[in-house]
Structure 1
Amino acid sequence: RVFGAPYSIRYSSTESGGIGIGTALDADDDEALHSIGRPRPGVEADIRDEDGTSLPDGEVGELWITSPAVMSGYWNDPVGTAETLVDGWLRTGDLATRDDKGIFRLRGRVKEMFIRGGYNVYPMEVEGVLLDHPGVAEIALVPRPDPVMGEIGVAVIVPVDPSASPTLDDLRVHGEATLAHHKLPEAIRVVAELPRNASDKIDRRALARVEAEHPST
């Protein structure tokens, strides 16, 4: 905005050969700010379920990509290759949706998804809503084993003001206008900071492990 320079958001990976999906330089605000755009020339992309079946527009599934640049396999790792490549298609491990304009939007990672009472919960979606609460500085939604529901969501938050942290009810009221009931957190843990791994990403496994061993309320 300051310099009036166009920009493009690009989505790719080492496995995809550095070629994938991107927003147009003249994209409107919705595409530019809230999506990864459309497949680049020579690239095909699809949204599929866990069985590899294509899903209709609007449904959340795994993002698959194919192009001449997609890798032929992992070095000396036939098992990993077989899990990642299917008939020339790359399973990215990312959850996404595609709209009726062919625009793709990321929704999280396949490995981060958990199931509450038979319904899929996507942490990235929930976190995006709850992070808009004025009292939340950072948040991670992690699963915890539950004898009735199988798994429930726990909101681990870093409050803006440690002396006036939002309560579980505050978060649920804030989220219920946007999120389905099964996606709302059912427990809360307040921390000074979220643990991070060597890549500076939130260490969700560590948080889930703590919740499993020492459940919060």
Structure 2
Amino acid sequence: MRTVITKEVTHALAIQTRELLAVWKLLQENYSDLRLSAACSDGSILESNDINELLAYENPNYRYILKLELSARSSLDERFRLSYSNDSNTTAKLFIESQKNKEAFHLISEMLNLIHEARPMWSPITRIKASTSLIGIGMVLGMWSSIQHLIGPFKQPEALSHLTGIDLLYLGVLEALVFFALVWPIDKFQSWLFPRITFIIGRQEDEWQNRNRYRSIVFSGFALSVISSVIGSVVYEHLN
């Protein structure tokens, strides 16, 4: 009886040379025919049966690796496939077909352990877009404003008192356009600074170090803002 197992990984992945070598070594221990295929940002495909050829790839910014698939097969027609890509909510997919039930589950478990080692500490940040967070904050503020309007005295600003309904509609559309014009770059910056999946090979190693410096600045700024807020609150309460 054949066993078929599929697994998916949803957290972010920062795949370095050591992870790829470990995965390849594990495949070599269990299969005889190994192959790899990498899809690049310019639409080209790299194919090989030697992981060292992939690791020697220059991986420049104009042709960096977007997706990677490792496949293996044994003489008994047992198959394995591991696909790295940022598709929908998954970053890696595993497939195994084998007549050895116990060995198949053990191999999948070992593979998942190796893949989880490539999970960066900031992986949770990639699960929610910055625009979604801002929209949520905007909705909360809007609800709070509505509640204040219902339970408390509300005085329309003089600057808006002479505007008609159409004017207010146009103003709302303009505000929405400005909001999305600001949100789009933020989403782009988030995906650049905190990518869902990246292959740290060749030139992308230097790129990764550069982004690490920016990430350190962002985290340091956030930590300082939190500390400043706490200190400010304590001082304010003490003075009052």
TM-score, normalised relative to structure 1: 0.29
Higher strand share: 1
- Higher relative contact order structure (alpha carbons within 8 Å, sequence separation ≥ 6): 2
TM-score, normalised relative to structure 2: 0.27
Q: Radius of gyration: which is bigger? A: 2
Higher helix share: 2
